Amino acid sequence: MLDDFLIRAALAGIGLAVATGPLGSFVVWRRMAYFGDATAHAAILGVALALAADLPIGAGTLAVALAMAVTVATLAARGWAMDTTLGVLAHSALALGLVAVSFVPDARVDLSAYLFGDILAVSQTDLAFIWGGALLVLALLIWRWSALLTCTLNEDLAAASGLHPDRERLVLTLALALTVAMALKVVGALLIAAMLIIPAATARGLARSPETMAALAALIGGGSVLGGLQLSLAEDTPAGPSIVVVAMLCFALVAGFGRMRRG
């Protein structure tokens, strides 16, 4: 019989995978990996603000992640060089957040949980927040799927079809910000991008359509969560990093199998 905290951890991780699978597919297609890192790093500043104002951590991280996402989307629309801009914003937000946390009493003890996640400490309230956010992200992506896919393939064609690429980019950034906020408790700010990218990159080697890739990415992410929790339980390793290690092994297996098949 599994303990309640393990069941909550598994449900939280699967909820995260429901969102990161389809969303991560767009991150891979649009080459937005660094954008995910920047938004995740900004979430640490949200932690500091939430602790200082005695607010729920989820509310603080969501507010700052949304602010970062909107800022980056606005700068991208104005033609800023994204690699340099994201580098400045990502590291500045992380550093500012770490400094700000140091001024909050008793916050240093929990800092590693915000950086690397603490999925085994997920509460029922956290679980409701994660699943609520995951379903919202999934509904948003399903609603805008066709438009998002068209804008991803060719923005000029999308504009000629009456779509607004900037608006669809904003939809993605908002979904990414919400995912970062709900994932902070599970895998932490430094590992969120890995859960977005690795399952989607693995699924790309197996799928023959965008829809199949999104579904496979969610399944691979969920399997990585269960495998990572099993590894953590058996070997007493950190749960969040263990999840990412299992996802990495899945990617290595699929990449190796694909190379053998081509050879």
DSSP character string of the chain: ---HHHHHHHHHHHHHHHHHHHHHHHHHHHT-HHHHHHHHHHHHHHHHHHHHHT--HHHHHHHHHHHHHHHHHHHHHTT--HHHHHHHHHHHHHHHHHHHHHTSTT-GGGHHHHHH--GGG--HHHHHHHHHHHHHHHHHHHHTHHHHHHHHH-HHHHHHTT--HHHHHHHHHHHHHHHHHHHTTTT-TTTHHHHHHHHHHHHHTT-SSHHHHHHHHHHHHHHHHHHHHHHHHHH---HHHHHHHHHHHHHHHHHHHHHHHH-
Q: What integer pLDDT is reported at residue 60 of this predicted model? A: 83
Q: How far apart are CA 178 and CA 159, in angstroms?
A: 27
Q: What integer pLDDT is reported at residue 11 of this predicted model? A: 93
Quote the pTM value: 0.87
Q: How far apart are CA 100 and CA 87, in angstroms?
A: 20
Q: How is residue 129 written in tokens?
A: 């927040």
Q: How far apart are CA 54 and CA 86, in angstroms?
A: 29
- Identify the segments of the chain with pLDDT beneath 50: 1
Contacts (Cβ under 8 Å, ≥6 apart) of 227: 243, 246
Closest C-alpha to 12, from 107, 91, 118: 118
Annotated domain spans of the chain: 4-189
Q: How many CA atoms lie within 13 A of 99 on its CB side?
A: 6
Which class does domain 4-189 fall in?
mainly alpha
Q: What integer pLDDT is reported at residue 74 of this predicted model? A: 76
* Burial of residue 250, with CB atoms counted within 10 A of its CB: 0-12 exposed, 13-18 middle, 19 or more buried: buried
Q: What integer pLDDT is reported at residue 252 of this predicted model? A: 93
Contacts (Cβ under 8 Å, ≥6 apart) of 186: 12, 13, 16, 117, 119, 122, 130, 240
Q: How far is CA 108 from the centre of its chain?
A: 24
